[in-house]
Amino acid sequence: MIRKIAFTIFVLLAASGAMAQHSKLQKSGTATQLSVNNQPFLVLGGELGNSSASCTADIESIFPRLAKMSLNTVLVPIYWDLTEPTEGGFDFTLTQKILDQAYENNLKVVFLWFGAWKNSMSCYAPLWFKNDYNKYPRAYTKEGKPLEIASAFSENVFEADNNAFSQWMNYVAQADKDKGTVIMIQIENEIGMLEDARDYSKEANAAFNAPIPSRLMNYLQKNKKKLHPSLLKKWETNGYKKEGTWQEVFGDDLYTDEIFMAWQYANYVERLAQTARRTYDVPLFVNAAMNSRNRQPGEYPSAGPLAHLIDIWQCGAPTIDFLSPDIYDTGFSDWCAKYDLPNNPLFIPETRLCENNGARAFYVFGEHDAIGISPFSIEDGSESPESSLVMGYNRLKELAPIISAQQGKGTMNGVLFDEQAKERVINKDNMLITARHYFTLPWDARATDGSTWPEGGGIIIELGPYEYIVAGNGIVVEFATKEEANMSQRKQLGEDGFAETGLNSTPTIASTNNWQGVPRVGIGTVDEVNIASDGNLKYIRRLNGDQTHQGRHVRIPVGQYSILHVKLYEYK
Ligand code: DGJ
């Protein structure tokens, strides 16, 4: 009897997908960590270009290279048109090839469901769907122009998309349940309306003129204190109404159109997310194209999972675990800050593939307790062990056990510098940590000879009192107690340690015994280290003398990625 019950439980769990939960999100202090096979996991990722997983030969040639690039995860699109080339006729060849290649190359996979929408458009819908526009209607502009964007208000569109997604999810659940290669799923890609801020189809107009659903109104009232400031402002400006149409509650402007549209997209996605959760339980997310460069809704993909719409998305799609920014624009660190919220962990599924990616990876883990980062079109990157991303990812793989153990404790900072943002002072407990771009060293000619400043970035981890890890690339770090920083002004010193003539050259007249026993910190030791898989530090070499400016600072030159173990000491 007991065996029979146990077997029934087994079958039920297997059918619900719960047995196969290799990957989940969990809280650790203030951080949300991704846990894979019960170990915290930092995604050192890369996303394939859009057309790079559309034949088995390309997958076979690309995946071994990704392993050489030191990725631990690849983000790969699944194309609806190739998955269901004829209505009801499914082909999972590419999916299986991706799973096999990932497994062989020791990579985890984040699948991207390119279903009804990819960058707003419906270009990945199969041709049989596109042709049957009466059954699968389009969104319309205000002037009545049909768009190549399937209408989110059509139940037929949803059913076709969801049916394909569900068949594919079933396949993945079966194919992956023992290996657990798939660690997350992104639903659709950069959803959003273009040309106009909302759909003007007949169904959309009817919904727009109807009262706001009570589910959303209740959510707004219940979460009033936590709403995103821009949403709160719109609601406040229009008198905090508890019911009414979209325009009555939020006013008559493009941003109201956007809120309305976001609600529809979120509810649509929620139903796909429920399909995924029922079938194979891994974390689920949606990605957004940024609303940058002062563009208005409709000029950017309106209503996507953007930070200012987080409440709409969270209420409409509670099964989605987080919203993710695709960061291509300038202002990388500002975008990161917008998506690292108490109710939203930072994961960057796409960022431009560039020399700065290595430094940025250190920054996001140090400053934002990020789940991961993933440059786009990764197969175009270099697998040379000297390339910035490969060096950075290798060091981060070593650091991962330490970073994971410190996430959510407030003991880490990330720094990211370029020619404009050269310096940051971190004010923590009794310490002032001043970090700068490496080229700020006054004797480094590259600061002034017209060289481009590659971004310098790193992580500073406080392991304990007066003990730090400083790791990354292209940074210089100084430590001081707050009291000593208040007492003395820093003087610009040359490489030999002499004061630079003409720079800060007015001597400070200090009165006798001015310091009165104020403690100072000095650099005790700086060791370059490796980190073993259990998190233990392994000595490589001692850095001292010229390499620490005779004990004045800790530094990692541009072009090198190192992990430094720093011990400070106090003296009076
Ligand atoms: C963002 C999209 O999400 C990607 O699929 C790709 O189109 C890039 N933009 C740019 O190429």
Q: What is the pLDDT of residues 371-383, one digit of tens each?
A: 999 999 999 999 9
Question: 239 is written with which tokens?
Answer: 């008198």
Which pLDDT score, from 0 to 100, does residue 483 have?
87
Query: What is the distance in A from the centroid of ligand 1 to the CA of 76?
Result: 12
* Residue 283 DSSP class: -
What's the number of CA atoms in the CB half-sphere (13 Å) around residue 269? 36
Rounded-to-integer distance, Cα 272 and Cα 189, Å: 13
Residue 489 banded pLDDT, cuts 50, 70, 90:
low
Of 480, 460, 479, the C-alpha closest to 564 is 460
CB atoms within 10 A of CB 135: 13
How many percent of the chain have pLDDT more than 90?
86
Pocket of ligand 1 (CB under 6 A): 50, 119, 189-190, 326, 350, 376
Burial class (CB in 10 A: 0-12, 13-18, 19+), 5: exposed
The b-or-e profile of 372-393 (16+ CB within 10 A means b, else e) is bbbbbebbebeeeeebbbbbbb
Of 43, 80, 39, 79, the C-alpha closest to 378 is 43
Rounded-to-integer distance, Cα 292 and Cα 281, Å: 34
Topology agreement, domain 7-198+265-394 and domain 412-571: no
Handedness of CA 205, 210, 211, 215 (dihedral sign): negative
Every domain of the chain and the residues it spans: 7-198+265-394, 412-571
> What length does the chain have?
572
Q: Report the CATH fold assignment for 412-571.
A: Chondroitinase Ac; Chain A, domain 3 (2.60.220)
Query: What is the distance in A from the centroid of ligand 1 to the CA of 382?
Result: 20
Which pLDDT score, from 0 to 100, does residue 6 have?
42
CA angle 194, 307, 348 (to 5 degrees): 90
pLDDT score of 20 more than 80: no
Question: 199 is written with which tokens?
Answer: 């759909």
Query: What is the distance in A from the centroid of ligand 1 to the CA of 148?
Result: 17
Which pLDDT score, from 0 to 100, does residue 499 have?
65
Q: Report the CATH fold assignment for 7-198+265-394.
A: TIM Barrel (3.20.20)
Q: Which atom of ligand 1 is nearest to the CA of 376?
A: 8
More confident residue, 472 or 490: 472
**Residue of 52, 119, 120 to mutate, ligand 1, most atoms within 8 A of C-beta:** 119
Q: What is the mean pLDDT of the chain?
A: 93
Residue 484 banded pLDDT, cuts 50, 70, 90:
confident
Range 304-316 average pLDDT:
98
Rounded-to-integer distance, Cα 522 and Cα 553, Å: 9
Lowest mean pLDDT among 4-8, 110-114, 265-269: 4-8
Residue 496 banded pLDDT, cuts 50, 70, 90:
confident
Which helix or strand (DSSP H or E) is residue 207 part of? helix 202-208
Which helix or strand (DSSP H or E) is residue 229 part of? helix 229-237
Range 246-260 average pLDDT:
98
Which pLDDT score, from 0 to 100, does residue 3 have?
43
Q: What is the pLDDT of residues 141-180, one digit of tens each?
A: 999 999 999 999 999 999 999 999 999 999 999 999 999 9
Query: What is the distance in A from the centroid of ligand 1 to the CA of 26?
Result: 29
Which pLDDT score, from 0 to 100, does residue 517 have?
83
Residue 485 banded pLDDT, cuts 50, 70, 90:
confident
How many percent of the chain have pLDDT more than 70?
93
